[in-house]
Chains A and B, each alone.
Chain A
Amino acid sequence: MRTNWGNIYAVLRREFLDRVRKKSFLVSTLITPVVFGGLMILPGLLSVMQTGKPTQVLVVDRTGWAGPAVVAASPAARPAGNSLESKAEESAMNAATLKMAPAGEDLEAIKRDIGDGKVDGALFLEGDGKAELKATYFGQNISNPQLFQLLDSRLNVALVEHRLDKLGLDRAIADKLKGRVEVEPVKVEKGGKTRKGSIMDFVVPIALALVIYMMILMYGTAIMNGVLEEKNSKVVEVIISAVRPFELMMGKIVGIASVGLLQYGIWFMAGAAVFMANPMNFQSHMDGSPVKLLQLVLLVLYFLLGFIFYSSLYAAIGAACTSQQETQQWQMPIAFGLIIPFMLMMPTLMTPNASWVVALSLFPVTSPITMLLRVGAVEVPLWQIGASLGLLALGTVGVAWAAARVYRVGILMTGKRPSIPEILRWIKQ
């Protein structure tokens, strides 16, 4: 019998409507962006915002010049910017207040006070023959990076000023010398076209990979549980008497993938609407948008192929097992295919053309995530994209074929759990 597309459509339609009409779909569509937005923005927000009161630091000076200089130093901020980095720096500069310790204060006594929690911390300054200035910080909490950013910055300003004074330079001239410079990242695209870099260059590839990762994990598991449910309720017998197992599996996978696409479509549109409604944001973030049409096309292609690839595996697991507990041990190795390229995200973005990265972006198991990361970071040669998609398509057909065979036998099996050799036999027969 040939594949009956009408049957696939009927199954697809049922799966789609069944899930979209559920309250949980509405809830997850509404809640997820809130939670995710929170997860993505909160740490940034917290690092920007003043969290709690500034650390009180006593400065104990044994050099005779450095103490007052450090307390008085106002670091020249980078050119006022709106970027996340400059906001974070600004907030770091307010992380602590510095105060000179009363003259003749004993360091040991201060340490005792710190230990008892009466004083937050102390900056001990001394100079010796080797170094002009040696600084030590004593504190109960030495894991606040903002504090050290602030202390470093002030100490170095004080030190530079001290050296300038020793050279006998006018303070007015000295102030002019303190201005900082910063590298401006400019992205060069095909044909030498350039575009100002922004934080989006970093965020977009990660976001694309994250979308795929989340979708496959969420909806792949949904497929597995759906298969398990059908199998345990025996409804599968009635279905299989009317459609071929392959048609049932494909209808299910594509139906649930459509639910996922719809959900992401809603989020995408909502996100776009929010940006549009706020011209300021839209201007600053979307000008020369780093999201290219190619990326969106690839996102959809990699999503569809990767989704079918992984979902087939999940469907086969659902068919081969009889309970949720049983599925656990099979899920892990599959999830690794997604987790590994995700864990390698940073090195992938730093060296997007390293040979191992190229290999991962071609290998069907890891290619959906790794290739999207690469495409976001650099211009990937078209032949690599083509080869990656081609290999993924081949792999998907192969996996779907094998999974359909496991599925065909598994969905009608009840009772004991099949062993791996048994499953291999199902594939071969």
Chain B
Amino acid sequence: MEALSYRGVQKNFGDVKAVKPLDLDIPQGKIFGLLGPNGAGKSTLIRMTMGIFLPDGGAISVFGQPRGEVASAAFGYLPEDRGLYTKMKVGELLRFFASLRGLSSAEAGRRASEGLRRVGLEKWEDHKVDDLSKGMQQKIQLLVAIQHRPKIAVLDEPFTGLDPVNVELFMEVLDEIIAQGTTVVLSTHQMEQVEKLCHAIALINKGEVVLKGNVADIRREYGSRAVSVSFADGAELQDSQFADLAEKVILMPNEARFVVRPEAHAGKVLKRLLELGVNVSRFEEAQASMHDIFVQVVSGSGAEGDGHAN
């Protein structure tokens, strides 16, 4: 079953169409990446998911139930901006948010100490949030989002302000909650994390989903079009000999790179090389990084849009 389903969901702010009618399914029990440039409509989509805004049209369902009928305990939320009461003590703050998500006070207390121990902040329980570093506050925000073991945790840019060690810690914690059955929706700019963590993604630009699917499939699709070759006896090769197969050809004395046309196949490039009598010593499909894909898709779709990204 889909954890989240969006059907024709849209939101306008005055004349600005922040999210255009959009269909999207987020599968259960995985980490789903919500990608997109600043101002693409990710945060608006997230806020509608969290029930902070109501969509102007369309419907969001959660495990098949309409969003409005789902108890807030099913959700956890880490907002992009700092979302903590800075004057409260860490332990009290965690217990307060736990009680808002329906935990009893005893249970809330237990989860707070447990969570603080997990992220290595057990000594800070009685300190004010203000006394914590930015990275530590981010850990508290993560605990606020997941301590009540929600069915769906929505994390908007969770890695901001974290050092590499803590990024690793966050990833471990995310693995743990996935193992417990939580579905994580992650919004981020950091594409390495997307490659490591996300099972599937949706790339949003100008309020529309411009790319969605499994990360592996997407990378294969985009990756299979980039080919890198090493060879001998290829000094006589001409770009024009590959014009029907590749949209981009870079020839060097002992190496070449091709971006294969979508309708063609990398194998045909190899076949052509052999037909031309080139002695191929290495032929590989380059893995396209999510970063390249992101840039390629966004700049591609950006050219035709009216462009009010901020």
Contact residue among A17, A237, A243, A412 (Cβ-Cβ distance under 8 Å from B100): A243
A329 at interface, CB cutoff 8 A: no
Of A7, A14, A238, the contact of B79 (CB 8 Å cutoff): A238
Q: Do A1 and B68 form a contact, CB below 8 Å, given A234-B79, A237-B77, A238-B79?
A: yes
CB distance from A390 to the nearest CB of B (A): 34
Given contacts A1-B68, A412-B52, contact A242 B83 (CB under 8 A): no
CA distance A11 to B99 in the complex (A): 9
Q: Which of B47, B50, B83, B100 contacts A10 (CB 8 A)?
A: B100
In the bound complex, residues from chain B placing their C-beta under 8 Å from that of A279 are none
Q: Do residues A412 and B87 form an inter-chain contact, with CB atoms below 8 A?
A: no
Shortest CB distance A360–B (Å): 40
- Give a binary string over B30-49; 1 marks a CB under 8 Å from any A CB, 0 the rest: 00000000000000000100
A239 to chain B: closest residue by CB: B100
Is A233 interfacial (CB 8 A cutoff)? yes
B window 39-92: CB within 8 A of A: 47, 50-53, 68-69, 72, 75, 77, 79, 81-88, 92
Partner of A238, one of B83, B88, B99, B102: B83
The interface residues of chain A lying within 8 Å CB-to-CB of B231 are none
Counting chain B CB atoms within 10 Å of each CB, which of A237, A238, A412 scores highest?
Answer: A238
Contact of B83 with A235 in the complex, beta carbons under 8 Å? yes
Flag if B87 contacts A18 (CB, 8 Å): yes
Contact of A233 with B82 in the complex, beta carbons under 8 Å = yes
**Residue A380 CB within 8 A of the other chain:** no
Q: How far is the CA of A60 from the CA of B151 in the complex (A)?
A: 99
Whose C-beta in chain A lies nearest to the C-beta of B93? A14
Supposing A235-B83, A237-B81, A238-B83 touch, asked if A6 and B75 sit within 8 A by C-beta, the answer is: no
A419 lies within 8 A of chain B by Cβ: no
Q: Shortest Cβ distance from B109 into chain A, in angstroms?
A: 14
Within 8 A of B (CB), among A1-36: 1, 6-7, 10-11, 14, 17-18
Secondary structure call for the B interface: loop
Q: State the interface size on chain B (CB cutoff 8 A).
A: 27
Instruction: Name the contact of B81 in the complex, choosing from A6, A234, A240 (C-beta under 8 A).
Output: A234
B258 to chain A, nearest CB (A): 48
Q: Do A242 and B100 form a contact, CB below 8 Å, given A233-B82, A237-B47, A237-B81? A: yes
Contacts of B101 in A (CB 8 A): 242
A281-307 Cβ-contact flags toward B at 8 Å (1 or 0): 000000000000000000000000000
Residues A237 and B83 in contact in the complex (CB < 8 Å), given A6-B102, A412-B52 = yes
Closest chain-A Cβ to B105's Cβ sits at a distance in Å of: 10
Does B18 reach chain A (CB closer than 8 Å)? no
Nearest to A237 among chain B residues (CB) is B79
Bound Cα distance from A241 to B47, whole angstroms: 8
**A238 and B144: CB pair below 8 A?**
yes
**Least Cβ distance of A177 to chain B in Å?**
74
Determine the chain B residues whose CB is within 8 A of the CB of A235 once the complex forms: 82-85
- Any A CB within 8 A of the CB of B124: no
Determine if A243 and B97 form an interchain contact, defined as CB atoms under 8 angstroms apart: no
- Please, how many angstroms separate the alpha-carbon atoms of A412 and B101 in the complex? 20
- A17 CA to B89 CA in the complex, in Å? 12
CA of A235 to CA of B96, assembled, Å: 13
In the complex the two chains form, is A242's CB within 8 Å of B96's CB?
Answer: no
CA distance A325 to B207 in the complex (A): 35
Residues in A whose Cβ lies below 8 Å from that of B82: 233-235
Taking a contact as CB atoms closer than 8 A, the residue among A17, A233, A241 that contacts B52 in the complex is A241
Q: Which residues of B contact A14 (CB under 8 A)?
A: 85, 88, 92, 96
Given contacts A1-B68, A233-B86, A412-B53, is CB(A238)–CB(B97) below 8 Å?
Answer: yes
**CB within 8 Å of B: which A214-262 residues:** 233-235, 237-243
B102 / chain A contacts, CB cutoff of 8 Å: 6
Determine how close the nearest CB of chain A comes to the CB of B273; give it in whole angstroms. Answer: 56
Asked if B83 and A234 make an inter-chain contact with CB atoms under 8 angstroms apart, the answer reads yes
Q: Do residues A242 and B47 form an inter-chain contact, with CB atoms below 8 A? A: no
In the bound complex, do residue A243 and residue B72 qualify as a contact, i.e. CB atoms below 8 Å apart?
yes
Determine how close the nearest CB of chain B comes to the CB of A422; give it in whole angstroms.
Answer: 11
Give CA–CA (A235, B92) in the complex, Å: 15
Q: Is the CB–CB distance between B84 and A10 below 8 Å?
A: no
Least CB distance from A7 to B in Å reads 6
Chain B residues with CB under 8 A of A11? 100
B53 and A241 contacting across the interface, CB-CB below 8 Å: no
CB distance from B61 to the nearest CB of A (A): 16
With a cutoff of 8 Å between Cβ atoms, the chain B residues found around residue A233 in the complex are 82-86
The residue among A239, A240, A242 with the most chain B CB atoms within 10 A of its own CB is A242
Whether B51 and A241, one on each chain, are in contact in the complex, defined by CB atoms closer than 8 angstroms, is yes
Residues on B with beta carbons closer than 8 Å to the beta carbon of A6: 99, 102
Contact B75 A241 (CB under 8 A): yes
List of A residues within 8 angstroms of B68 by Cβ: 1
Which positions in B face A, CB cutoff 8 Å?
Answer: 47, 50-53, 68-69, 72, 75, 77, 79, 81-88, 92, 96-97, 99-102, 144
Besides the contacts A238-B83, A242-B72, what 14 more A-B pairs have beta carbons closer than 8 Å?
A10-B96, A233-B82, A234-B79, A237-B50, A237-B79, A238-B77, A238-B97, A240-B52, A241-B51, A241-B72, A241-B75, A242-B75, A243-B100, A412-B52
Chain A: residues with CB nearer than 8 A to chain B?
1, 6-7, 10-11, 14, 17-18, 233-235, 237-243, 412
